[in-house]
Amino acid sequence: MNRFVLSTGAVITAALVAVLMSGLGRDPKHIDSPLLGNAAPHFVMKSVGSAETIDIAKFRGKPVVLNFWATWCAPCWEEHPVLNETARAHPEVQFLGVVFQDEEAKIQDFLRRRGAAYPTVIDDGGRAAIAYGVGGVPETFILDANGTIVVKHDGPVSQEQLQSYLAEVVRK
C-alpha cells in the first residue's frame, strides 16, 4: 500500500466530488438580482384595454406579485393559469401583469381567451423591464407590503413555488 498515493488521491477525490456536488441543482444561468431587499422601482403604466393608468405605489400595504410576460412567449402561456388561480385564491395579494414588447390587440385577445383575474399594464418601450433588470420573460417579482422586493423568480412559476413565496410575504 502506497500511502502517498492513497492520501493525495483521497484529498483530490474528496475535494473534487464535494465541489461538483455543491453545484448540483444550481442554475448557472441564474443571476441574483441586486434589487432583492430594496424598494421596488416606481412606475405608472397604461392598463390594457382602457385609457387608465396604474401606479404601483397605490398597492403599498399589500403584498404584490409582479409578473413580466408577453403573448409571444410559450412558457408564459403555461404559467398563466397558475397565476390566475392563485390570484383568485388570494384576494389579500395584489397581482399585476406587465407585458413586455407586445401589441395591445394581441394582449387583449390573449386575456379574453385565457382569462384575466388581475390587471395588466403595458410596458411601453420596456422602461419597467429595464428598471427591474428583466433578462427574459416570464420573470416574477414578489414585493412585501412595504414595497420591498423579496423574491425574484426566473422562468415560469409553478403553483407550489408561488404558494411558498406567498407564505413568506404574508407571514411577514
Partner 1 sequence: MITTAALGRLLILGALLVSTAGAFLGFASGAKRSEEGLRWSRRLAYAFGALMLVATLVMEHALLRHDFSVSYVAHVGSRDVPVWVTIVSLWSSLEGSILFWGLVLGLYIAAATRFTSRGNEEAMPYAIGTWLACGSFFSFLIAGPANPFLTMSPAPLDGPGPNPLLQNHVLMVAHPPLLYLGYVGMTIPFGFAVAALLRGKIGPTLVRAMRNSLLLSWIFLSIAIMLGGWWAYEVLGWGGYWAWDPVENASLLPWLTATAALHSAMVMQRRGVLKGWTLTLVLSSFLLTILGTFMTRSGVFNSVHSFTQSAIGPTILVFLAAVLIGSVTLLALRIDTLESEGRIDAPVSREGTFLLNNLLLVLFTFTVLVGTVFPLVVEAVNGKQMSVGRPYFDSMVVPMGVALLFLLGIGPALPWGRASREEIRRALLPPLAGGIALLVVGVIFGARNPWTIVTLFAGGYALQVTLVQLAKLRHSRRSFGAYVIHVGVAIAIVAIAISSTMRTQREVMLQQGQSATIGAYTVTFNGTEERSEPHRTSSVARIAVAKDGRAVTTLEPRMNQYEMMREPIGTPDVHSTIGGDLYISIVSLEANRAGLLLIVTPLVSWIWIAVLLMAAGGFIALVQFPRFAAKTAAKSLVEAKATP
**10 is an interface residue for partner 1 by CB under 8 A:** yes
In angstroms, give the least distance from the CB of 112 to partner 1. Answer: 24
**169 is an interface residue for partner 1 by CB under 8 A:** no
DSSP symbols for 68-110: EE-TT-HHHHHHHHHHHHHHHH-TTSEEEEEEES--HHHHHHH
Q: Which of 41, 72, 119, 144 binds partner 1 (CB under 8 A)?
A: 72
- With CB under 8 A as the contact rule, which of the stretches 13-21, 76-84, 118-126, 141-149 interacts with partner 1? 13-21
Site for partner 1 in 24-63 (CB under 8 A): 24, 26-29, 31-32
Instruction: Find, among 137, 104, 133, the residue nearest to 120 by Cα.
Output: 104
Q: Please state, in angstroms and rounded to a whole number, the distance separating the CA atoms of residues 106 and 138.
A: 17
Q: Please state, in angstroms and rounded to a whole number, the distance separating the CA atoms of residues 133 and 145.
A: 21
The site for partner 1 (CB under 8 A) is made up of 1-3, 5-6, 9-10, 12-13, 16-24, 26-29, 31-32, 72-73, 136
